């Protein structure tokens, strides 16, 4: 088995983005716990805090910054993730990649879009439902890609050619040489293929929002 490596020089930028919202969540969580403890001590009431409404703008801001970083870096870290996961899916090579970074960034963009849609439709979407939709699609990504992957055949052909580009044929009675090559351009077709699960999650999220909006409109009519 062969293993190849890749380098992301801008990982520290996304680390700072992650630290920003993490610190904000920690501060809001601490304040909410203090309020909850105070209410229980004074009034004997048990209040379970919900900090999500207080960080919705931060989620939207981080989603916007994530997209901005992707554009500035020519979508490199997403391409790195797509190429590595496609290699594993097709059984070509086992490349180390920090998938947690992409999972986190994609979740923030997904939630940022969901929050914006909820604000546009003037409805409230339940966080646990949105996260459940996202996680199911993420953990079933290979199944989703193999069944309905966007431009799947073109991406599979690119992945094969990219792997074979590392091999120098000996053309004699000896071993072929495993070497390296440089990817100078981002293959957007591969991005579309490997992020099909995210597109599906967004489509399901939009359907969920439409159902909530129709349900709210029906409830308003029945109350009047």
Contact 185, 220 (CB under 8 A): no
Q: Which two tokens stand for residue 191?
A: 């991005």
- Which pLDDT score is estimated for 7? 59
Rounded to two decimals, what is the model's pTM? 0.81
Nearest to 159 by CA among 90, 79, 223, 102: 90
Q: How many CB atoms lie within 10 A of CB 68?
A: 12
- Which pLDDT score is estimated for 42? 82
**pLDDT, tens digit only, all 224 positions of the chain:** 444 555 566 666 666 666 666 676 677 778 878 888 888 788 887 777 766 777 788 888 888 988 988 898 889 889 989 999 999 898 887 777 778 888 988 999 999 999 999 999 999 898 889 999 999 999 999 999 999 999 999 999 999 998 888 777 666 666 666 677 778 889 999 999 999 999 999 999 999 999 999 988 877 665 55
Q: How far apart are the first and last CA of the chain?
A: 68
- Which pLDDT score is estimated for 14? 64
Q: Which two tokens stand for residue 81?
A: 């993730």
Q: Which residues pair with 168 in a beta bridge?
A: 177
- Which pLDDT score is estimated for 3? 47
Residues near 221 by beta carbon (within 8 Å), at least 6 away in sequence: none
The conformation of residue 176, written as its DSSP 8-state character, comes to P
- Which pLDDT score is estimated for 2? 47
CA distance 130 to 111: 8
Q: How many CB atoms lie within 10 A of CB 96?
A: 10
At residue 167, φ and ψ (nearest 5 deg) are -105, 125
- Which pLDDT score is estimated for 155? 94
Please list, residue by residue across 8-33, b when 16 or more beta carbons sit within 10 angstroms of its beta carbon and e when fewer do: beeeebbeebbeebeebbeebeeebe
- Which pLDDT score is estimated for 181? 75
């Amino acid at each position: 088995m062969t293993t190849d490596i890749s380098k992301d020089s801008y990982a520290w930028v996304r680390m700072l983005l992650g630290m920003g919202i993490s610190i904000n969540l920690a501060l809001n969580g601490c304040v909410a716990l203090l309020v909850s403890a105070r209410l229980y001590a004074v009034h004997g009431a048990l209040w379970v805090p919900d900090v999500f409404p207080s960080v919705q703008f931060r989620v939207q801001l981080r989603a916007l910054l994530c997209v901005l970083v992707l554009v500035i870096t020519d979508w490199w870290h997403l391409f790195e993730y797509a190429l590595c996961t496609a290699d594993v899916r097709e059984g070509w090579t086992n490349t180390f990649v920090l998938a947690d970074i992409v999972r986190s960034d994609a979740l923030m963009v997904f939630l940022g879009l969901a929050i914006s849609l909820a604000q546009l439709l003037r409805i409230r979407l339940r966080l646990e439902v949105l996260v459940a939709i996202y996680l199911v699609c993420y953990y079933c990504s290979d199944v989703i890609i193999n069944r309905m992957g966007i431009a799947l055949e073109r991406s599979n052909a690119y992945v094969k050619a990219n792997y074979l580009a590392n091999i120098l044929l000996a053309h004699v009675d000896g071993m072929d040489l495993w070497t390296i090559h440089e990817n100078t351009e981002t293959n957007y077709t591969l991005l579309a293929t490997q992020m099909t699960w995210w597109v599906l999650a967004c489509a399901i999220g939009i359907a969920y929002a439409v159902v909530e909006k129709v349900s709210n409109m029906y409830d308003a009519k029945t109350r009047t």
